[in-house]
């Protein structure tokens, strides 16, 4: 068993926000007389909010840690279907559920994540055979406090100060730690010999998509209304972006009026639908000092040989096409390639084979 100090060192040694929940869960399992740890986060798709168990670990071994981007949202429990969790979240206080008397097994629930950001709300569940002592509850509170401090520090370093969206640096981390690893795992999966070679090679899509969005005629807005009004437009567009996409999509401000989104989605039609909703929401919004503002969007699937820079470049080509076509459009890079507007991105040998 590791010491309390050793677990604090591990928890504060991270530079990857996505590993904090796993480290906290392992520490609590090691230090407390508990049989299971569950960390459940609130996720949203439009107005539908549900529970995502991002970590579930058992003292006897086993469990799972979930990547929020790869979850089937429709399979998750609705917020109101887990009343005790919801009560803990609402009260922002400890909730205990005992089902076999005051000295029997119970679940102790404590609020986790941010107390202020709606997209960072969640609950920590401790499953134990009896009530936890005050000493053990103090350990939990201390580790929760350290966890939240680390989460906030890493969150701050990953966020754009003006909009609260993720910054360009954090895209590189997500791209290499999640996206490309997932693609490589799919590519190295055993092939089904009953399928023709071409079908075997492409039977598992990567399903990651990167998109860009730029405010149309933003330089005109800045020149006509000034920097403060332009910054207000940026902040409002960022808020619309956050309200349109799912809480587990990764949303970015790359620079200036250039926004981005990294999604895990099964097909192009759903991705196009998301960007169309965002484009339409911006167009319908009444910007008090400017009036009508529009955005142009472009998106592409992420391929095995892509880097963050090459993927962004493809999305910017699609955005540029949309803006040169009058703006206020959402365009697929692959769709434009297929229609002959851009040169194919295939390797020479792939072009020859096709």
Q: Per-domain residue ranges for the chain? A: 4-158, 168-189+199-353
Measured CA to CA, the distance from residue 201 to residue 304 in angstroms comes to 12
Token pair, residue 280, equals 């339409």
* Exposed/middle/buried for residue 81 (C-beta within 10 Å: 0-12, 13-18, 19+): exposed
Element (H, E) at 337: helix 333-338
Rg (CA), the chain: 23
- CB-based contact 315:212 (threshold 8 Å): yes
User: CA nearest 189: which of 211, 166, 168, 205?
Assistant: 205
Measured CA to CA, the distance from residue 305 to residue 337 in angstroms comes to 17
Element (H, E) at 125: strand 121-128
Measured CA to CA, the distance from residue 261 to residue 338 in angstroms comes to 23
What is the structure's pLDDT at 153? 86
Specify the CATH number of the domain 168-189+199-353: 3.30.70.270
Measured CA to CA, the distance from residue 41 to residue 289 in angstroms comes to 37
Measured CA to CA, the distance from residue 58 to residue 64 in angstroms comes to 9
Measured CA to CA, the distance from residue 178 to residue 168 in angstroms comes to 16
Question: What are the pLDDT tens digits along the chain (354 aa)?
Answer: 678 888 889 888 877 777 888 899 999 999 999 999 999 999 888 789 999 998 999 998 888 888 777 788 889 999 999 999 999 999 999 999 987 777 789 999 999 876 656 667 899 999 999 999 999 999 999 999 999 888 888 888 889 989 999 999 889 888 876 665 665 555 554 444 443 333 333 333 468 999 999 999 999 999 999 999 999 999 999 999 999 999 889 999 999 999 999 999 888 999 999 999 999 999 999 998 899 999 999 999 988 888 899 999 999 999 999 999 999 999 999 999 999 988 755 443 343 332
User: CA nearest 44: which of 151, 153, 117?
Assistant: 117
- CB-based contact 45:246 (threshold 8 Å): yes
User: CA nearest 319: which of 249, 269, 261?
Assistant: 261
Superfamily of structural domain 4-158: GAF domain (3.30.450.40)
What is the structure's pLDDT at 7? 87
User: CA nearest 318: which of 285, 271, 252?
Assistant: 271
């Amino acid at each position: 068993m590791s010491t309390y100090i050793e677990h604090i060192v591990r928890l504060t040694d991270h530079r990857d926000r996505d590993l904090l929940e796993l480290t906290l869960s392992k520490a609590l399992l090691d230090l407390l007389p508990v049989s299971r740890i569950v960390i459940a986060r609130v996720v949203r798709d439009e107005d539908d909010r549900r529970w995502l168990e991002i970590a579930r670990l058992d003292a006897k071994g086993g469990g799972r840690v979930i990547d929020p981007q790869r979850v089937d949202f429709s399979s998750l429990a609705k917020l109101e279907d887990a009343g005790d969790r919801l009560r803990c979240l609402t009260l922002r206080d400890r909730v205990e559920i005992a089902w076999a008397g005051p000295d029997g097994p119970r679940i102790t629930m404590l609020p986790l994540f941010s107390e202020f950001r709606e997209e960072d709300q969640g609950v920590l569940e401790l499953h134990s055979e009896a009530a936890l002592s005050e000493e053990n509850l103090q350990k939990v509170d201390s580790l929760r406090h350290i966890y939240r401090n680390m989460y906030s520090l890493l969150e701050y370093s990953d966020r754009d100060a003006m909009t609260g969206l993720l910054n360009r640096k954090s895209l590189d981390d997500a791209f290499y730690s999640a996206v490309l690893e997932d693609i490589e795992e799919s590519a190295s999966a055993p092939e089904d010999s009953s399928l023709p070679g071409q079908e075997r090679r492409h039977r598992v899509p990567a399903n990651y998509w990167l998109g860009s969005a730029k405010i149309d005629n933003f330089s005109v807005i800045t020149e006509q209304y000034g920097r403060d009004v332009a910054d207000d437009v940026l902040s409002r567009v960022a808020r619309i972006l956050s309200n349109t996409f799912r809480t587990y999509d990764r949303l970015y401000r790359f620079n200036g009026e250039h926004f981005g989104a990294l999604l895990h989605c099964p097909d192009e039609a759903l991705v196009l639908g998301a960007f169309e909703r965002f484009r339409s929401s911006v167009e319908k919004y009444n910007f008090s000092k400017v009036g009508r503002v529009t955005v142009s969007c472009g998106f592409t699937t992420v391929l095995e040989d892509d880097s963050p820079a090459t993927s962004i470049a493809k999305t910017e080509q699609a955005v540029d096409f949309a803006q040169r076509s009058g703006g206020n459009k959402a365009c697929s890079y692959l769709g434009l390639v297929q229609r002959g507007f851009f040169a194919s991105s295939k390797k020479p040998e792939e072009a020859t084979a096709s």
